[in-house]
Amino acid sequence: MRYFFKEGAVLTAGEMIELEPEDLGHAHRVLRLRRGDAVVVADGKGSAYRGVVETLGPERGLIRLTGLPLPAAESPRRIVLLQGLARGEKMDQVVRQAVELGVQQISPVVTERSIPRFSKSREEGRLKRWRSLVRAAAKQCRRAVLPQVTPVLDFAGALELLRGRTAVLPWEGEHKRGLDRLLERLPEEQEAVFVFIGPEGGFSEAEITALIGAGVSPVHLGPRILRTETAAAVTVALIQAAWGDLGVSQR
């Protein structure tokens, strides 16, 4: 069943929803949907309804909502991913996998060893691309919430965001405390878990010292050094398996 987002809409059964311009061409020319075809429309905030195509052409597409809200595909655990900027496809991969694994916010961060350095215009272009990837990944995995991608933070901004939070820092210099031990002490009512993943060159010693001083918990992910894009996916998956919805039996 084809999946679309209509941000800002109040979804109720019987309502008529107009497809967004970015969805219209794909629905008409690529998917070749026709009147009566079943679809799903989500509002990006947590609600998703079944619907049917009423009208679809090159200029306009209308969906009539027909059913009750679909079950939520959102994790009970709010996860915020701070990702040290990585090059090109690696950053794209982090964004896609984070959405699939249920992350609710992605904040790119410039660190001392980050290789990409964006001008303002290039940053705007990258943000546009990442948000487009979020939208596509959320459709693919049937999320009703569109995760937020924030503007790029500098390290000081990331440090301020993490201060006083439950935050984990996968780091190859930590050899004793695994993520599993930290998760054992994670309270169920905790609002969010923040995950800070270093860039391809890792964190500098000064950054590690500052993060630990701000209360961020360094953890190790095993004896092998992981790529930045792998570390992000592994850390989020372990948190979801322990306290979220990954691997939870359906009732």
**Per-position pLDDT tens, the chain of length 251:** 899 999 988 899 889 999 998 899 889 889 899 999 999 999 999 999 999 999 999 889 999 999 878 877 888 889 999 999 988 899 999 999 999 999 999 999 999 988 767 777 788 999 999 999 999 999 999 999 999 999 999 999 999 999 988 899 999 888 888 888 777 777 666 678 999 999 998 999 999 999 999 999 999 898 898 999 999 999 999 999 988 888 765 54
Whether 186 and 132 have beta carbons less than 8 Å apart is answered as no
CB atoms < 10 A from the CB of 235, how many? 24
Instruction: Quote the pLDDT of residue 232.
Output: 96
The whole-angstrom distance between residue 217's C-alpha and the CA centroid of its chain comes to 22
* Choices 3.40.1280.10, 3.30.530.20, 3.40.50.11540, 3.40.1390.20: CATH for 78-243: 3.40.1280.10
Residue with tokens 């679309």: 4
Instruction: Quote the pLDDT of residue 180.
Output: 82
Domain boundaries, the chain: 2-69, 78-243
Backbone angles phi, psi at 189, to 5 degrees: -85, 0
The pair of structure tokens assigned to 32 is 């070749």
DSSP code at position 178: B
Architecture of the domain whose range is 2-69: Beta Barrel (2.40)
Instruction: Quote the pLDDT of residue 178.
Output: 84
Q: At what angle do helices 228-243 and 88-100 cross, to 10 degrees?
A: 10
Instruction: Quote the pLDDT of residue 164.
Output: 87
Nearest to 168 by CA among 47, 68, 81, 51: 81
CB atoms < 10 A from the CB of 149, how many? 22
Instruction: Quote the pLDDT of residue 249.
Output: 55
Backbone angles phi, psi at 90, to 5 degrees: -65, -45
Nearest to 123 by CA among 142, 94, 151: 151
Instruction: Quote the pLDDT of residue 187.
Output: 64
Terminal alpha carbon distance of the chain: 22
Coil vs helix vs strand at 167: strand
Instruction: Quote the pLDDT of residue 251.
Output: 40
CB atoms < 10 A from the CB of 181, how many? 11
Instruction: Quote the pLDDT of residue 190.
Output: 62
